[in-house]
């Protein structure tokens, strides 16, 4: 197995990757900048639809911020570190996430939902630190946190295939399990907190897989 530096040197020895990787990073940063402005616009919308979610009649909202966000950021950091040995997989993930954000902006625009009754806000510490200063509540359809964790779980499950590398790591099997565990925690947390309607979370799985499938075809992953 090659060393960390050898892996990246080999990756960038391909002229195509020397152009595509920085372009992918720029595309991701530009996408997130546009998304931040879209969220401000979305929060100002007044013609909204409130859904009668039958599942919400069964329980009162539970504040799970203290569980959900540590899991989200541990998952994100773990994903980046784990796939730093697979540059192509990392680039693939950046493209998947950027595409998913564009799909989500379109979905939110055509599906202007109001905040569920009794919802407890998702207090994302990173959004408050580097965000626009506007409290985000109306980014409902579909759940971005659920979709993001779904993407991470799918990509980790297929990391070796995406990377095109012929070697495996001892922790590969464990990582596949733990990321689906992370996904289960986050998906259930946003519903139990009533921060998202059930349909927001259910749809997120399909939209995330759709973004993954499109990028997979572009990359020629079998």
Q: Report the range of poorest mean pLDDT among 32-41, 42-51, 114-123, 157-166.
A: 157-166
Place of tokens 């902006």: 105
pLDDT score of 168:
73
pLDDT score of 134:
60
CA distance 30 to 105: 14
Q: For the chain, how are helix, strand and coil distributed in percent, rounded to 5?
A: 70, 0, 30
In tens, the pLDDT along 122-154 reads 887 766 665 555 668 899 999 999 999 999 999
In tens, the pLDDT along 58-106 reads 999 999 999 999 999 999 999 999 998 899 999 999 999 999 999 999 9
Domain range enclosing 177: 4-219
* pTM, to two decimals: 0.92
Please tell me the total count of domains within the chain: 1
pLDDT at 165 over 80: no
pLDDT score of 133:
58
Residue 53, SS3 per DSSP: coil
Distances in whole angstroms, Cα of residue 17 to Cα of each of 23, 111, 194, 211, 217:
9, 37, 43, 21, 17
């Amino acid at each position: 197995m090659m060393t960390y530096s050898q892996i990246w040197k080999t990756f960038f020895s391909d002229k195509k990757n020397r152009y595509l990787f920085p372009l992918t990073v720029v595309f991701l940063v530009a996408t997130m900048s546009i998304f931040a402005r879209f969220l401000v616009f979305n929060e100002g919308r007044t013609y909204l639809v409130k859904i009668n979610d039958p599942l919400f009649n069964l329980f009162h909202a539970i504040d799970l911020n203290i569980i959900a966000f540590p899991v989200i950021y541990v998952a994100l950091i773990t994903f980046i570190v784990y796939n730093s040995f697979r540059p192509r997989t990392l680039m693939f993930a950046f493209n998947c996430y950027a595409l998913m954000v564009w799909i989500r902006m379109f979905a939110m625009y055509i599906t202007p939902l109001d905040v569920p009754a009794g919802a407890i806000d998702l207090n994302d510490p990173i959004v408050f630190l580097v965000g626009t200063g506007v409290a985000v509540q109306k980014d409902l359809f579909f759940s971005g946190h659920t979709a993001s964790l779904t993407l991470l779980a799918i990509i980790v499950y297929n990391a070796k295939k995406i990377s095109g590398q012929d070697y495996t790591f001892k922790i590969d099997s464990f990582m596949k399990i733990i990321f689906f565990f992370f996904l289960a925690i986050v998906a259930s947390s946003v519903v139990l907190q009533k921060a998202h309607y059930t349909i927001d979370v259910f749809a997120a799985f399909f939209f995330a897989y759709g973004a993954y499938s499109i990028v997979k075809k572009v990359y020629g992953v079998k």
